[in-house]
């Protein structure tokens, strides 16, 4: 556990260690849960790099340091999407086996992408990455809690303003995807701030943002599934009827999920603390 003093350093240290542990576990045994945890760890590391960019006034190049993770993160994402697609198909009912050809196609793709992911995992220059992580640790160590909190409220306000502007412009898919990315950054900011200063306003905001982001996550999973189903339907006319019924069902689910998410989003603006320091 990270101490209150220099919390950002402790947080990054834990995530970096967890990342290397996940790599070792995936080398030993390819597991869906470990793959998911690896992606979560990389997302948190990427968020820290974004924060360091903000804190350094442009002197820190987050994209350069993230380049170590980008390829395996994207490849792990392809495998994860196929895993989620399969789970959603089973959730929506496939007891009659009418979608067995679609599931078979998913499994073949998963096998292909998993092999590619493992190959690239083995090509990671671990010593070089560890040296880079060491440099980031030193940078994080310089950011004390007081300085972090002094910048955090400004960044939290900025993210909320951006989310509101995006929502006002449009609720089309492209904008919702952008909103979801900003919600992830906002959640990390609020979570870190709350860990340093556990005041009720931050706790409330953290829970609201988390609920909203998770709801949009469920929406996003179904967007990916719909894209996959529509492509399969075009290439497999014999399965068109069953696929069409499923598409209609998933689209209705997503209408509800998006409505709930937008409603939750409105609550984010009501729980912002006026000051953190």
Q: If DSSP codes are grouped into helix, strand and coil, which group holds residue 114?
A: helix
- pLDDT at site 255: 94
CA angle 110, 120, 33 (to 5 degrees): 50
- pLDDT at site 58: 73
Return the domain boundaries, the chain: 1-143, 145-268
Q: What H or E segment, with its residue span, contains residue 23?
A: helix 7-28
Q: If DSSP codes are grouped into helix, strand and coil, which group holds residue 61?
A: coil
Q: Residue 155 and residue 189: Cα distance in Å, rounded?
A: 8
CA 142 to chain centre: 27
pTM confidence score: 0.85
Q: What is the C-alpha end-to-end distance of the chain, expressed in Å?
A: 23
Contact 226, 247 (CB under 8 A): yes
> Would you give per-residue pLDDT tens digits along the chain (277 residues)?
344 457 888 899 899 999 999 888 888 888 888 888 899 899 889 988 988 888 887 788 889 999 989 999 999 999 999 999 999 988 876 655 678 888 888 999 999 999 999 888 888 888 898 999 898 988 888 888 888 888 888 889 889 999 989 988 888 888 999 999 899 989 988 999 999 999 988 999 999 999 999 999 999 999 999 999 999 888 887 777 888 888 999 999 999 999 999 988 888 877 666 665 5
**Residue burial 228-263, b: 16+ Cβ < 10 Å; e: rest:** bbeebbeeeeebeebbeebeeebeebbeebbebbbe
- pLDDT at site 30: 83
- pLDDT at site 85: 93
Structure-derived torsion over alpha carbons of residues 148, 149, 152, 156, reported in degrees to the nearest 10: 160
- pLDDT at site 236: 80
Exposed (0-12), middle (13-18) or buried (19+): which is 122, by Cβ within 10 Å? Answer: exposed
- pLDDT at site 27: 84
């Amino acid at each position: 556990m990270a101490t209150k003093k220099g919390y950002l350093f402790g947080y990054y240290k834990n995530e970096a260690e967890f990342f290397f542990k996940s790599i070792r576990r995936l080398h030993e045994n390819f597991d869906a849960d470990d793959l998911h945890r690896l992606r979560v760890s990389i997302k948190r590391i990427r968020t820290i790099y974004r924060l360091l960019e903000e804190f350094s006034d442009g002197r820190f190049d987050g994209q350069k340091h993230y380049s170590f993770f980008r390829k395996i993160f994207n490849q792990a994402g392809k495998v994860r999407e196929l895993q989620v697609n399969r789970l959603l198909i089973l959730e929506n009912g496939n007891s009659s086996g009418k979608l067995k050809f679609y599931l078979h196609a998913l499994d073949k793709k998963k096998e292909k992408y998993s092999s590619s992911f493992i190959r690239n995992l083995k090509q990671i220059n671990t010593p070089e990455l560890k040296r880079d992580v060491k440099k980031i640790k030193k940078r994080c160590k310089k950011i004390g809690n007081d300085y972090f909190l002094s910048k955090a409220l400004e960044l939290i306000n900025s993210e909320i303003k951006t989310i509101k502007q995006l929502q006002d412009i449009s609720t089309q898919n492209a904008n919702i995807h952008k909103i979801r990315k900003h919600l992830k950054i906002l959640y990390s900011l609020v979570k870190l701030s709350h860990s340093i200063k556990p005041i009720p306003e931050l706790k409330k905001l953290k829970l609201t943002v988390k609920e909203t982001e998770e709801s949009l996550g469920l929406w996003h999973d179904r967007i990916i599934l719909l894209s996959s189903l529509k492509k399969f339907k075009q290439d497999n006319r014999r399965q068109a009827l069953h696929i069409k019924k499923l598409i209609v069902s998933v689209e209705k689910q997503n209408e509800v999920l998006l409505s709930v998410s937008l409603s939750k989003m409105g609550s984010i603006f009501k729980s912002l603390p006026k000051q953190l320091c």
